[in-house]
Amino acid sequence: MTIELSTIQTIAMAVVVLYIGKFLNHTFKFLKENCIPESVTGGTAFSIITFIGYKTGMFNFIFEDSLRNLFMIAFFTTVGYSASLKLLKKAGMPVFMFLMASVG
């Protein structure tokens, strides 16, 4: 069975997955103690469920992706805003080397 989701349904599914991640992080304290983001927890759980559904042929999701590029640019921009020279100096040489490799 193929489940096609519109843009609104895709965004709603993302919100539901985020709240599932929030629930899992509060249920399993080691996730919160190890600073695993709720979006990663929920996304991983959803990925596993989706993988099982796809491999067994029970269900398959098709998401509307017209806003994907916009949200990816917004995400990576916010990650970039959190960077600073002070933080880079505090992190030390390994992070600086990683930065140079990334820029290269």
pLDDT of residue 37 exceeding 80:
yes
Contacts of 52 (CB under 8 A, 6+ apart): 58
pLDDT bracket for residue 45 (50, 70, 90): very high
Provide the 8-state DSSP code for 34. Answer: T
Least confident of 22-26, 41-45, 61-65, 86-90: 86-90
Half-sphere exposure of 92 (CA within 13 A, CB side): 1
Q: How far apart are the C-alpha atoms of 50 and 57, rounded to whole Å?
A: 10
Q: How far apart are the C-alpha atoms of 19 and 75, rounded to whole Å?
A: 19
Q: Note the Cα 95 to chain centre separation in Å.
A: 22
- What is the three-class DSSP state of 36? coil
pLDDT for the residue numbered 100: 85
For the chain, give every domain's residue range: 2-103
pLDDT bracket for residue 50 (50, 70, 90): very high
pLDDT bracket for residue 88 (50, 70, 90): confident
Residue identified by tokens 């927890």 is 41
pLDDT of residue 79 exceeding 90:
no
SS3 for 42-71, per residue?
HHHHHHHHHHHHHHHCCCEEEECCCCHHHH
